[in-house]
Structure 1
Amino acid sequence: MMEETSTQNIDKRIQMAVEAFRFLKNTTINERAEFMNAVADQIEALGEELLTVTHAETSLPLARLTGEKARTAGQWRSYAKAVAAGIYTEARIDLAQPEKQKGDLRKYNVGIGPVVVFGASNFPFAFSTAGGDTASAIGAGCPVIIKAHPAHPQTSQIMADAISAVVKAFGWPEGIFSHITGTSYEIGAYLTQHPDIRAIAFTGSFNGGKALFDIASRRENPIPVFAEMGSINPVFAFQNLLETKAEALAKEYITSLTLGVGQFCTNPGVFIALKGESFNRFINTLKEEIQKVAPVKMLHKGIFDNFEKNKSIALEQPDVEIIVSAETESSSGNATVIKTSAGNFLNNPVLSEEVFGPFGIVVACETDEDLMQIARQLKGQLTITIAATHEDVRDNSTLITILKDKCGRLLFNGMPTGVEVVYSMQHGGPFPSTTDSRFTSVGPDAVKRFVRPVCFQNWPDEFLPDELKNENPLQISRMVDGTVNSGSLKLQTT
């Protein structure tokens, strides 16, 4: 049973974070990058104990955990590199000119303050205690208080100890990183409404993320909540591609739908296409392929119970039929695909709700107008996939333009499961997939969530932060009078 952290202990941890924030304000981007690389080293040094413990807590295969551990260390390194490059300081300098009334203006980004990170259940390394939210917040210069996910408490503690060991080795204040445990809703609410917390990062259910967002919005001083809350990630399959690749597309879809027992926020939960002979071939191949999916235990009983409940709700809706449902074992998510008409999908909002697990809905459209109506009605998504030929894209440009406004990542063929930790990745989309579509939680740009701009007007050079000094001691790229400049500024003196 996970121990409940007392509010008294939480208050102490938050006060330590406030004091640590004062320390972080005086660290350089290079010092924070060095710290982040040391955390990556520490994570890489964790041996078989970590993998064994996490496997026991989550049922995730060791091969998957080994890869996720490497990804987690890689996140810390890639974010560190971006921080050291000064990308997220976004230094802007507009020098004094005779015609300017305001004189010399210089702006850069600073950390916003203590951040609470809620660990996710489905990625015990990469989106949890030592995950990308923690890395990006510290990279921005913000202390982190992690609320451990109760599904893998031992894993969370091992990762927390790894980060705390680096804090101690660097001689930095203990409040740089704190680990909070508990299962009650009250702990999350208490953390979110505490006046010294400046931002929230959350990955999980819509109900959980929206509840935190509402609490944060009602504060006397509202704070941002960066909540990633899931998505049905629809696949729109167009006619020319479906006619030539129905069988291959069905195999690809089932592989993606059942990957990791469907426990990905980018799981393609809905497949939409026009009825016809090629559509029937797609359905027939789905039936064959899903029987090849071996039953695998889901992450924990809570996720399994929710999967069974939400799947049952979908199956109880009128005018749906089961295409196929795989054999299963206890606590295993049985892969299931149902079919419904476009009209029923449009008129029944239940069918547009995420079922977290290996569950898919195939929507049979009668006309191109059905496709258009579904596109218009879609809520915000993390991803939307266009399964199409070039000719299909040309023939459906209006529909695709609509879909572009409904997602954070728009795919041309392929499936959305899996994200790359790179600058150009966008893992975040319009509400309700996230609470702020301007940001990503994957890739170095995740750091942007935890900074704010400060402008200095007519300040003497010696008192400016290093990011804005004439000599550019950090050797970062800066925007000077509208032009990117990595050198020092040779100003005339009077």
Structure 2
Amino acid sequence: MMEETSTQNIDRRIQKAAEAFQFLKNTTVTERAEFMNAVADQIEVLGVELLEVTHQETSLPLARLIGEKARTVGQWRSYAKAVASGIYTEARIDLAQPEKQKGDLRKYNVGIGPVVVFGASNFPFAFSTAGGDTASAIGAGCPVIIKAHPAHPKTSQIMADAITAVVKAFGWPEGVFSHITGTSYEIGGYLTQHEDIRAVAFTGSFNGGKALFDIANSRENPIPVFAEMGSINPVFAFQNLLENKAEALAKEYSTSLTLGAGQFCTNPGVFIALKGKALDRFINALKEEIQNVAPATMLHKGILESFEKNRNIATEQTDIEIIASSNTDAENDQGSASVIKTNAKTFLNNPVLSEEVFGPFGIVVACETDEEIMKIAQQLKGQLTITIAATDEDVRNNPILINILKDKCGRLLFNGMPTGVEVVYAMQHGGPFPSTTDSRFTSVGPDAVKRFVRPVSFQNWPDEFLPDELKNGNPLQISRMVDGVMNSESLKLQTT
């Protein structure tokens, strides 16, 4: 049982975070990058104890956890490299032009203030206490208050201790990083509405993310909530490709659908195609694949209960046909894979079928005409991903549909399946509402730092008092835009 954190304790942590923000505002991108690399080193040396504790708490296999730990270390290092390069300061300098009575203007990005990060259950390393939200907020110059996920409290504490050790080693203020535990929903609400909190990062259910969003926007001083809330990640299969590789596509879809017991936010929940012999071949192959998928232990009892409830609700709708389910009986805490089929008219008229079922569950939608596929595309809510399973010819023949789908997602795939999110600059892990609360940003990749900065402009300031990012000598040697031209050179100007 986790100890509940009192509101007095929370207030004290937030006050320390507000004080630490004043310190972090005066750190350079180089100093923060050094800190981030030290956190990566600290996590990297965590050994078997961490993996065994997390395995016991989450039931995730050790091989998966080893890979996720490496990803987490890589996140801190890649974000640190990006921060050190200065790209997120977006330094802009427009030099004075006295002959035009134009003053000297210089602008750069600074951290927005203390950030509350809510740990996610499905990635206990990469999206939780020491995950990408924490790394990107600190990289931006923002103190972090982490609300530990109650499904893996011991894992969270180990990771929190690793970050705290680096804070102490650097001699930075205690409030740079705080770890709050507890199972009460009220804790999240209290953190979000506190006047000294300046942003929230959340990965989880729609209900949880939307509740935090509403709290944040009802404040006297509203703040951004960067919530990633899930998605059905539809796959649109076009006829030419389906006819050529129905069986192979069924295997790809099944593998992605059931990966990690379906507990990925990019799990491809809906498969859409024209009815006919090619789709029949796909369904027959998919049936065989799903039947051979053994039930898997889910992350915690709450996720299992939610999965079974939502799966049963979808399955009990009218005009639904069960295609297949696992041939192996599920044991305690295990989720069993299953897939159902419906027609386009039913899918379009029943919003229940467009809701995410978090777990190994899929829906095949058989359409009578291309017009029905178009209607589904037009009606889709915002998604993290949409996959186009197609040949080049299919894409050439469907420009209007492709353009509509571009407006519906953050990441548009050409073949392949959406699970396996890469931590790189070009990754977009975010999409139109309701998949996230702000489609302009990503929660994966170095660009995640952008969520936690805001611009500040300095007019006619003496060089001595400018931040290093904007000084004439460019002591950090970052790339800056000077009078509309990008360069990393120092400015040979007379200082006053």
TM-score class, shorter-chain normalisation, is over 0.9
- Shift of the 113–493 alpha-carbon distance from structure 1 to 2, 3 Å rule, reads closer
Secondary structure of the residue that 2:88 maps to in structure 1? helix
Give TM-score, length-normalised by structure 1: 0.99
Which residue of structure 1 lines up, in the alignment, with residue 337 of structure 2? 335
Residue of structure 1 in register with 2:79 after alignment = 79
Find 2:484's aligned residue among 475, 478, 482.
482
- Which portions of structure 1, spanning 4 or more consecutive aligned residues, are displaced by more than 6 angstroms? none
Tell me the amino acid that sits aligned with residue 389 of structure 2: A
What's the CA shift string for 1:384-410, capped at 9, x where partnerless? Answer: 000000000001110000000000000
* CA deviations over 1:412-433 (Å, ceiling 9, x no partner): 0000001110000000000000
Which of 361, 366, 370 is the aligned partner of 2:368? 366
Given the superposition, is the C-alpha separation of residues 337 and 483 from structure 1 closer, same or farther in structure 2, using an over 3 Å criterion?
same
**Cα-to-partner distance string for 1:9-47 (whole Å, 9 max, x where unaligned):** 000000000111111111111111010000000000101
Identify the residue that residue 453 of structure 1 maps to in structure 2.
455
What residue in structure 1 maps to residue 466 of structure 2? 464
Residues in 2 aligned to 1:173 and 1:373: alpha-carbon distance in whole angstroms: 55
Matches within 5 A, 1:371-386: 371-386=373-388
Aligned residue in 2 for 1:166: 166
Q: Tell me the TM-score normalised to structure 2 length.
A: 0.99
Distance 1:310-1:28 versus aligned 2 partners, 3 A rule:
same
Aligned-partner Cα distance in 2 for 1:104–1:28: 22
Q: Distance in 2 between matches of 1:44 and 1:204?
A: 26
Higher mean Cα deviation, 322-331 or 364-373?
Answer: 322-331
Secondary structure, aligned partner of 1:281: helix
Contact 1:102 1:457 in 2 (8 A): no
- Deviation of 1:101 after TM superposition, in Å, equals 4.1
Aligned mates of 2:192, 2:98 — CA distance in 1 = 48
Q: State percent identity of aligned pairs.
A: 86
Unaligned runs of at least 5 residues, structure 1: none
Aligned counterparts of 2:98 and 2:332: Cα–Cα separation in 1? 77
Contact 1:18 1:113 in 2 (8 A): yes
**SS of the residue 1:200 aligns to:** strand
SS at match of 1:88: coil
2: distance between equivalents of 1:305 and 1:3? 24
Match of 2:144 in 1: 144
Tell me the residue number matched to 1:55.
55
**In structure 1, distance between residues paired with 2:291 and 2:138:** 45
| Paired letter, 1:338 | I
Give how far 1:338 is off: 0.2
8 Å contact kept, 2:213–2:225: yes
Q: Tell me, yes or no, if the aligned pair for 1:426 and 1:440 is still in contact at 8 Å.
A: yes
Per-residue deviation, 1:329: 2.4
2:392 is matched with 390
The CA distance in 2 between the partners of 1:308 and 1:258, in whole Å, is 15
SS in 1 for 2:54: helix
Aligned to 2:108: 108
Which runs of no fewer than 5 residues in structure 2 stay unpaired? none
Q: Deviations over 1:260-279 (max 9, x none)?
A: 00000000000000001010
Deviation (angstroms), 1:295: 1.7
The one-letter code of the counterpart of 1:215 is: I
1:183-332 → structure 2 map (5 Å cutoff): 183-326=183-326, 327=328, 328-332=330-334
Aligned to 1:8: 8
Q: CA deviation at 1:98?
A: 3.6
**1:291 positional shift:** 1.9
Residue 51 of structure 1, CA deviation? 0.3
Q: Distance in 1 between matches of 2:139 and 2:363?
A: 40
Instruction: State the superposition RMSD in angstroms.
Output: 0.9
Residues 101-140 of structure 1 deviation map (CA, whole Å, 9 limit, x = unaligned): 4411100000000000000000000000000000000000
Distance 1:55 1:469 in 2: 50
Deviation at 1:97, TM superposition (A): 1.6
TM-superposed deviation, 1:217: 0.0
